[in-house]
Amino acid sequence: MDRRDFLKAGSAAAASALAPVGFGEVQAGDGSSTAASGRMILPINRNWRFSRPMAATATDAAHGKDFDDSGFDMVVVPHTNILLPWHSFDEKSYEIISLYRRKFKLPAEAGSQLKGSKRVFVDFEGAMTASTVWINGTKLGEYKGGYTPFSFELTKYVDFDGENVLAVDVDSTERADIPPFGYQIDYLTFGGIYREVALRIVPQTFIENVFAQPKAVLSSAPTVDVHTYIQHGDGGQAMTLLVELLDGEKVIASGTAKIPAGVAAAAEPMEHVVTLEKLGPIKLWDLKNPNLYHARVTLQQGKIALDQEMRRFGFREAVFTKEGFKLNGKVIKLRGLDRHQTFPYVGQAMPARPQKQDAKILRETLRCNIVRTSHYPQSRHFLDACDEIGLLVLEEIPGWQHIGPLPWQDISVDNVSRMIRRDWNHPSIITWGVRINESRDNHDFYVRTNAMAHKLDPSRPTCGIRYFQSSEFLEDVFTMNDFGWPLLPPNHDAYLNTEFVGHTYPAKSIDNMERLTEHTLRHARVHDQLASNPQYAGGIGWCFFDYNTHGDFGSGDRMCYHGVADFFRERKPAGGFYKSQCDPGEEIVLEPAFHWARNDESTQFSKAVVSSNCDNLKFYLKGQLIADAKPDREQFKYLKYAPFDVDLTKVDLSSLWADLRIDGYIAGKQVISRQYSGHGLDQQFAVLPDDTTLIADGADTTRVVFRVTDEFDNIRPYAGDPIALTLEGPAEIIGDNPFALVGGTGAIWIRAKQEAGMAVLTAKHPRLGEQKVTFTLTASEPERA
């Protein structure tokens, strides 16, 4: 959570000691308050006017103040420039230059009395791919890049009392001058202002950024260097920087720095470091207990607090060694998945809740301990969730195989800087990916990206994702996409496998079970080999879920079916393998990689592969024990929890065919039991919302999963029925209606409108009845600008 969330959290949170200060409520170090100082963050996500390209939007007038945009759509960001089917569409449909316009008036307390004392910025968290911004008809410039944040200063042009108009041309074409474009890429980038936007009103001299860098965290005397970046305005008087460390709401350490008078205004912010010592016992951030602290910095002039900022961070030591990856001195074998940030229907335009849900699925359902944000910086909400639930992150710059000419490389080096300066406080991030994924060597370029990363953040190692081992090693960790089998031996001390399986064995959830079983085993085999040698820090498999791609990749329907989960985040059997690698203390797992059907294999059912962290599994038919199985140690010598591969060819299934029961045992004690119907009938229709309370801000969204199951809740993989949907109340359906199940499952999303109340979704299966879900839509403060 950062300052924006605090401000959005409403008055209760704003009153707490953790709240950053707004206008007129700045607290000086001695607790006194002063008026008319501080900063104001004004989200402007609602009330945008949007138009797809037409003759009128390409004119100068369209970017001016008086243009009549009343015929445009009224939209809320995150926004996609076109709603799409979940697959089989033409990417040209979003490759457009669209126009967004947003009128705003600054609140009264930010009005003309502050002219001269305040600066006003507009902050975009992400718009795909190039954005040209105007304020009141004056063009401010173009920002090139879809995955990194950017700001424009409005101070000179803004009307502090009257109405203002921001206009943004968002160019969502694949521009060869901007990473990742210039060649092919195996994913889609979509279009629109797809992350949040805010106005930021700050004093002339203000806090531009804060980096809290813990040191000696495993010693008896940990410290934290708090780097505060101050953007100085003209004619500065002497100031004091107060830096406080907060555990919850309690200040547990503080320090100050003096800033002399007469610091001249400069284009770049000035860095001031305050080291906080004598912190007392510190709770480390780790995977089980992701303890978080806050650094609060206040810029003071005498008793007046000019500005205040807060950043969340954690104390942990993360290093790559020849013995593997160590978190807080303990080796942790990395086990994770690559994640694209795309969703069905809306591309990348999803707000906080579904972003956080992805992190939860990775950590709490698939039991991964690491994710790679392939192939670009992802939503801050996703990263916040990783901090909160203890999921490690490899974050990398935008790019895919292609390196463009020098100006393109300049943008890429700048991407390194923007990524790190946005995300350096996340304890979950353990390495920065500073190469273009799978590109060839380019000495000069990669010397620059590494230097930038090391200069900004000496506390984290760099890496860069490669496809050949002889590649020049300029980073700290050698990260390699090794799709071969067996895997190559590590050729550097710090060595991490960052992709495998993927396109070498696509698997759809509607595929024959033999393929899905083999898909599971391939992931298991790779992790087994990775377990064989401590020098492999671990493996990040390709990939978390199926994703949209260009026509020259994938399965011919603009999809790569490479996920261990489908596009709706419903897991395939391979997802069960990842899950099964957790400690039974976390969850006892028993996940078959087969579908209980008598004759769906080439001859008849013979091979029951199960991913499980149990010691042995007993299989029963009609109450008769038909197998007592141990993990398959012949095939999987090194995995802590080897899958079970049970041969049932000798079982007389024609006489015994019935419901299958599998009991799992640990240390001789039965700990789990699962059943699989032998009836071969679709029995139940389930509707499973991730959440039933949404904030009525026009953006908040949650997923609703549909499943057709047997009587024991197992998905019936060949159910493809249409689910007819009706929604009453102030919310909308994102998705197809009717929705045709894929592999017995699938999902739509429900997005709140801006009106509080109740919404009721009715989902009707043609034969298995209907289910209703009621959503509570809680009131949200209107935006103030």
Q: How far is the CB of 438 from ligand GAL (least distance, A)?
A: 5
Q: How far is the CB of 67 from ligand GAL (least distance, A)?
A: 41
Q: How far is the CB of 34 from ligand GAL (least distance, A)?
A: 52
Amino acid at 281: P
Asked if 499 touches ligand GAL (CB under 6 A), the answer is yes
Instruction: Decide: helix, strand or coil at residue 491.
Output: coil
Query: What is the spatial distance between Cα 678 and Cα 712, in angstroms, rounded to a whole number?
Result: 11
Binds ligand GAL by CB under 6 A, chosen from 79, 195, 372, 562: 562
Taking the least distance from each CB to ligand GAL, the nearer of 185 and 727 is 185
Taking the least distance from each CB to ligand GAL, the nearer of 185 and 521 is 185
Q: How far is the CB of 194 from ligand GAL (least distance, A)?
A: 20
Binding to ligand GAL, residues 243-272 (CB under 6 A): none
Q: How far is the CB of 506 from ligand GAL (least distance, A)?
A: 8
Q: How far is the CB of 717 from ligand GAL (least distance, A)?
A: 23
Taking the least distance from each CB to ligand GAL, the nearer of 157 and 467 is 467
Can 438 be counted among the known catalytic residues?
Answer: yes
Q: How far is the CB of 574 from ligand GAL (least distance, A)?
A: 14
Q: What is the DSSP letter of 781?
A: P
The residue sitting closest to ligand GAL, measured at its beta carbon, is 502
Asked if 431 touches ligand GAL (CB under 6 A), the answer is no
Of 108-116, 495-503, 563-571, 671-679: span binding ligand GAL (CB under 6 A): 495-503
Binds ligand GAL by CB under 6 A, chosen from 57, 172, 223, 481: 481
Can 388 be counted among the known catalytic residues?
Answer: no
Q: Are 547 and 559 in contact (CB under 8 A)?
A: yes
Binding to ligand GAL, residues 401-430 (CB under 6 A): none
Q: Where do we find the tokens 């109405």?
A: 163
- How many helical (H) and strand (E) elements, i.e. helices and strands, does the chain have? 9, 50
Taking the least distance from each CB to ligand GAL, the nearer of 438 and 476 is 438
Of 132-140, 195-203, 362-370, 499-507: span binding ligand GAL (CB under 6 A): 499-507
Binds ligand GAL by CB under 6 A, chosen from 174, 186, 384, 690: 186
Q: Is 308 left (phi over 0), alpha (psi -120 to 50) or beta?
A: beta
Q: What share of the chain is helix, strand, coil (3-state, %, to 5)?
A: 15, 40, 50
Query: What is the total count of residues that contact ligand GAL (CB under 6 A)?
Result: 9
Taking the least distance from each CB to ligand GAL, the nearer of 360 and 503 is 503
Of 53-61, 498-506, 513-521, 764-772: span binding ligand GAL (CB under 6 A): 498-506
Q: Are 144 and 175 in contact (CB under 8 A)?
A: yes
CB atoms under 10 Å from CB of 319, counted, come to: 16
Compute the half-sphere exposure of residue 299: CA atoms within 13 Å on the CB side of its CA. Answer: 29
Binding to ligand GAL, residues 61-100 (CB under 6 A): none
Per-residue H/E/C for 392-456: EEEEECCCECCCCCHHHHHHHHHHHHHHHHHHCCCCCEEEEECCCECCCCCHHHHHHHHHHHHHH
Torsion of the alpha carbons at 657, 660, 663 and 664, rounded to the nearest 10: 110
CB atoms under 10 Å from CB of 427, counted, come to: 25
Q: How far is the CB of 350 from ligand GAL (least distance, A)?
A: 20
Q: Are 628 and 616 in contact (CB under 8 A)?
A: yes
Asked if 503 touches ligand GAL (CB under 6 A), the answer is yes
Taking the least distance from each CB to ligand GAL, the nearer of 498 and 714 is 498
Does residue 375 have a cis peptide bond before it, meaning omega lies within 30 degrees of 0? yes
Query: Could you tell me the two tokens for 722?
Result: 């249409």
Triad 294, 297, 299: Cα angle to 5°: 170
Q: How far is the CB of 375 from ligand GAL (least distance, A)?
A: 6
Q: What are phi and psi of 374, to 5 degrees?
A: -75, 130
Query: What is the spatial distance between Cα 420 and Cα 435, in angstroms, rounded to a whole number?
Result: 14
Q: Are 354 and 84 in contact (CB under 8 A)?
A: no
Instruction: Decide: helix, strand or coil at residue 236.
Output: coil
Query: What is the spatial distance between Cα 596 and Cα 353, in angstroms, rounded to a whole number?
Result: 35
Residues β-bridged to residue 202: 119
Query: What is the spatial distance between Cα 705 and Cα 691, in angstroms, rounded to a whole number?
Result: 11
Q: How far is the CB of 437 from ligand GAL (least distance, A)?
A: 5
Q: Is 397 left (phi over 0), alpha (psi -120 to 50) or beta?
A: beta
Asked if 172 touches ligand GAL (CB under 6 A), the answer is no
Binding to ligand GAL, residues 6-35 (CB under 6 A): none
Q: How far is the CB of 562 from ligand GAL (least distance, A)?
A: 5
Binds ligand GAL by CB under 6 A, chosen from 433, 502, 563, 592: 502
Query: What is the spatial distance between Cα 7 and Cα 308, in angstroms, rounded to a whole number?
Result: 13
The total number of residues written for the chain in this structure: 785
H helices of 648-746, where?
A: 653-656
Binds ligand GAL by CB under 6 A, chosen from 437, 439, 529, 613: 437
Taking the least distance from each CB to ligand GAL, the nearer of 347 and 502 is 502
Cα 603 to Cα 239, 311, 329, 514, 610, distances in angstroms = 81, 61, 52, 12, 20
Of 11-19, 90-98, 242-250, 496-504: span binding ligand GAL (CB under 6 A): 496-504
Taking the least distance from each CB to ligand GAL, the nearer of 542 and 706 is 542
757-765 sheet: strands from edge to edge: 693-695, 769-778, 757-765, 722-728, 739-740
Binding to ligand GAL, residues 213-242 (CB under 6 A): none
Taking the least distance from each CB to ligand GAL, the nearer of 213 and 437 is 437
Strand-strand pairing, 334-338 and 536-541: parallel
Taking the least distance from each CB to ligand GAL, the nearer of 245 and 501 is 501
Nearest to 124 by CA among 199, 206, 63, 62: 199
Binds ligand GAL by CB under 6 A, chosen from 91, 95, 196, 438: 438
Taking the least distance from each CB to ligand GAL, the nearer of 158 and 526 is 526
In the shown chain, the binding pattern of residues 310 to 349 toward ligand GAL, with x for contact by CB under 6 A and - for none, equals ----------------------------------------
Q: How far is the CB of 420 from ligand GAL (least distance, A)?
A: 22
Asked if 542 touches ligand GAL (CB under 6 A), the answer is yes
Which of the residues 499, 570, 591, 783 is marked catalytic? 499
Q: How far is the CB of 302 from ligand GAL (least distance, A)?
A: 55
Taking the least distance from each CB to ligand GAL, the nearer of 174 and 632 is 174
Q: Please, which residues have CB within 8 angstroms of residue 13's CB and are 6 or more apart in sequence?
A: 6, 19
Which of the residues 91, 317, 438, 570 is marked catalytic? 438
Taking the least distance from each CB to ligand GAL, the nearer of 188 and 761 is 188
Residues making contact with ligand GAL (CB under 6 A): 186, 437-438, 481, 499, 502-503, 542, 562
Hey, which residues are catalytic here? 438, 499
